[in-house]
Amino acid sequence: MSGTVKFALALTFLAWMAGTAAARVKGVCSNCHTMHYSQGGLPLAEWGASGPYRALLVNDCIGCHTGKNTATTRTPYILTTGSEIKYGTTGTESETNTLAAGNFWWVYDGNTTGNRSDAKGHNVVGIALEDQTLHNTPPGGSNLNHRLTCAGTYGCHGDRTIVDTLGAMMGAHHADDSTLDGTTVGKSYRFLKGVVGLEDPDWEYRPKNNEHNQYKGVDRTDEGNLDPTTISYLCAECHGDFHTGNDISSGSWGSPWLRHPTDYDMGNTPSGSEYRNYPGPYDQQGTYSVVAPVASEDVTQVISTVTFSKDTIITCVTCHRAHGSPYWKLLRWNYFGWPTNNEDDVNGCMACHSAKN
């Protein structure tokens, strides 16, 4: 084999690797585990203080996933302290260090800076106190009668048939995730059991239109046309009224909407409609925008240019960040603070509602 051919094969392999999901943990065991929760007679300072932890872990979910994201960190940090966190305007700017789901900082009960609010994140136990307005009833859903957890029956990640948070996630980090088909926690998008999608290797650290998660959506034709593999379906397991049931559209499916649609492809709008100008002020027409990401039925590849044919599907995460954001209602952009006295100021709604500027 010539040197040129070897080099080409190597490049091909690297390219393939770069496009492959990378959620499966790598590195030495002691990064995450300790045999005795003791090193030299004491727990290490970088371990959690509340151990020992089950599965011989050095910390709990929140403890391991608290930190500052950089271009080289290989753990997705979902809680970053206020002195280090950078969100920017939409969480996609060059200075941003939050990830696709945002960050819990703005709902974290340790945030005493004055920008904390129950309405800026999911009040997950261990991070935030109970929501003083909603308590344990998610908008659009029924009372959970339980605090929200990271995983399990009362959480988003893991196996939701298992109440125990850790038990619901058992083994997931070590699973072969080369194919995400939703059959197991490890083979589900971001360990959200049942959901599929294409995972950005750096969890959308400073994403671009050709480097991002590819969310799974479905071009519904009926309110009852539900696909449990979509990201919106997962959200609807708690916020059901906003996605499922008979009160989304005033007809069988389509405008006039009663509630903002999800799992709806903008390709169903008239060809001259404002929605066909997606992403509005954020890029050239037809360019995928990480400001207001749209889902697709095909999630085998990252889409950088949309065709309005089952690849411009509105999802919950088109507007919201699942963990939290600096903005009310976990929105990706400062919707509540718009308009301003500057005509040129925009907000993410305009990515789709391009004429409402």
Partner 1 sequence: MDAWRVIALRISHFLLAFCLLGGLKAEAGSYWRSAHGSYANGVKRNNRALYNKGNCGHCHDQHGDYGGISNGGPFAFALYANPFNTNASPGNYQKADAFCFHCHTNGTDSEQNGGIVNEDYSKTFGGYSASGKNNILSTFNQRSYHDLEDVYNFAKNSFPFFTSESSPCVACHNPHLARRVKADPGNPAANTAISRPTAHDTLWGDDNTSTDKETMYYFYQGRYQAPYAYGGTNSYEPGGTSTYDGHNLPDYATFCTDCHNPGNTIYSTSLGRNLIKIDWSTQGGESGPGDKHGRNSATTSLGVKAPYANAPIGITLGFALSCTDCHEPHGAPNPYLVRSEVNGTQISIPNTSTGNEIGYLCLACHKDDQAYGVSTTPNHWRYAHHTATDHPYPQQQCGRCHSGGGMGGTPIPCMNCHMHGKDDSYLGSSSTGRICF
Binding site for partner 1 (CB under 8 A): 119, 133-134, 137-140, 241-242, 247, 250, 255-260, 272, 274, 276-277, 285, 328, 335-341, 343-344, 349, 354-357
Strand partners, 102: 99, 324
Q: Which two tokens stand for residue 84?
A: 């280090």
Angle at 334 between CA 75 and CA 295, to 5 degrees: 60
Query: Are the C-beta atoms of residues 144 and 238 closer than 8 Å to each other?
Result: yes
Query: Are the C-beta atoms of residues 301 and 198 closer than 8 Å to each other?
Result: yes
Which CB, 53 or 275, lies closer to partner 1?
275
Which CB, 55 or 355, lies closer to partner 1?
355
Q: How far is the CB of 109 from partner 1 (least distance, A)?
A: 20
Q: Which amino acid is it at 251?
A: G
Q: How far is the CB of 82 from partner 1 (least distance, A)?
A: 22
Q: How far is the CB of 351 from partner 1 (least distance, A)?
A: 12
Say how far apart CA 303 and CA 280 lie, in whole Å: 17
Which CB, 181 or 247, lies closer to partner 1?
247
- DSSP at 6: H
Which CB, 63 or 121, lies closer to partner 1?
121
Q: How far is the CB of 42 from partner 1 (least distance, A)?
A: 45
Q: How far is the CB of 226 from partner 1 (least distance, A)?
A: 18
Query: Are the C-beta atoms of residues 288 and 341 closer than 8 Å to each other?
Result: no
DSSP codes of every residue in 22-36: --S--S-GGGTB-SS
Which alpha helices (DSSP H) does 177-218 contain, by range? none
Say how far apart CA 231 and CA 192 lie, in whole Å: 9
Which CB, 103 or 277, lies closer to partner 1?
277
Q: How far is the CB of 242 from partner 1 (least distance, A)?
A: 5
Residue positions counted in the chain: 357
Which CB, 24 or 353, lies closer to partner 1?
353
Say how far apart CA 350 and CA 357 lie, in whole Å: 6
Which CB, 37 or 257, lies closer to partner 1?
257
Q: How far is the CB of 98 from partner 1 (least distance, A)?
A: 22
Query: Are the C-beta atoms of residues 356 and 137 closer than 8 Å to each other?
Result: no
Say how far apart CA 172 and CA 21 lie, in whole Å: 14
Which CB, 165 or 269, lies closer to partner 1?
269
Q: Which two tokens stand for residue 24?
A: 């499966």
Q: How far is the CB of 247 from partner 1 (least distance, A)?
A: 5
Q: How far is the CB of 147 from partner 1 (least distance, A)?
A: 16
Residue 160, SS3? coil
Say how far apart CA 255 and CA 134 lie, in whole Å: 30
Query: How many other C-beta atoms lie within 10 A of the C-beta of residue 127?
Result: 24
Q: Which two tokens stand for residue 204?
A: 């959308």
Q: How far is the CB of 111 from partner 1 (least distance, A)?
A: 19
Which CB, 119 or 170, lies closer to partner 1?
119
Q: Which amino acid is it at 215?
A: Y
Which CB, 179 or 309, lies closer to partner 1?
309
Say how far apart CA 318 and CA 125 lie, in whole Å: 25
